[in-house]
Amino acid sequence: MSNANKKNFAYTAIYALSFLIILFLVWFIYFKPPSEVEYAWVANLPYVNASLNSLCAIFLVLGYIFVKTGRVSLHIKSMSAATVTSGLFLVSYLLYHHFHGDTKFLAQGLIRPIYFFILITHIVLSVVMVPMVFITLWNAFTNKVEKHKKWAKFTLPIWLYVSVTGVAIVYILKNYNL
């Protein structure tokens, strides 16, 4: 298999996997009924999610600083930590939606359009982000540094935005949705 065919196969596999992940998440979050049993610890999961998103954002910024200052090994460690915290976030997020279901936003006034703007952009960009993160990581793992840099230039700000807005969504839900 030629290098071009390997690249096309890898990208096709990444897009297919991303599509299946997104399809599963849409079903899981919006169509699957929540569990009939809810445990007390589930109420803490939004704070766990916000903490994981905060850590991810910190690791992303550190990774960017490290690569810009030539500390590649620290960049790799930071970006690996960002990937792991994003994965842990996803597990925690799925647990929350399994046991609790959707949280309705009931607040009125100016906060309502602000919240929905943040929520909608967060959701749309998180969907876009899935294949971008996989492709960026794939190029890093296969030592395609120039392609990694090209993808990372777009992946980083989107991933950072999704992480930070994830924290903002929890904050707004917990402080204005009374």
Q: Please report how the helices 45-68 and 72-99 are oriented relative to each other, as an axis angle in degrees rounded to 10.
A: 160
Chain centroid to Cα 50, Å, comes to 11
Tally Cβ neighbours within 10 Å of residue 49: 22
Least confidently predicted of 16-20, 42-46, 97-101: 97-101
Write down the H helix ranges in the chain.
Answer: 3-26, 45-68, 72-99, 111-141, 145-176
- 80-119 pLDDT, tens digit per residue, is 999 999 999 999 999 998 998 888 999 999 999 999 999 9
* Residue 36: predicted pLDDT: 85
Give CA separation, 64 vs 31, 55, 128, 149, in Å.
Answer: 37, 14, 20, 11
Using 50, 70 and 90 to split pLDDT, how confident is the model at 3?
A: low
Is the per-residue pLDDT at 61 higher than 80?
yes
pLDDT higher than threshold 80 for residue 4: no
What integer pLDDT is reported at residue 177 of this predicted model? 82
Average confidence (pLDDT) over 124-153: 96
Q: All domains of the chain, ordered by start, with CATH? A: 3-176 (1.20.120)
| % of the chain residues with pLDDT over 90 | 81
Judge whether residue 30 has pLDDT over 90: no
Sign of the alpha-carbon dihedral angle for 84, 135, 24, 118: positive
Please tell me the pTM assigned to this model.
Answer: 0.89
Q: What is the mean pLDDT of residues 46-60?
A: 98
* CA separation for the pair 55, 10 (Å, rounded): 29
> How far are the Cα atoms of 27, 57, 58, 156, 158 from residue 63, in angstroms, in the given order?
33, 10, 8, 10, 15
Q: And the tokens for 168?
A: 């903002």
Residues 129, 96 contacting (CB under 8 angstroms): no
pLDDT band for 19, please (50, 70, 90 cuts).
very high
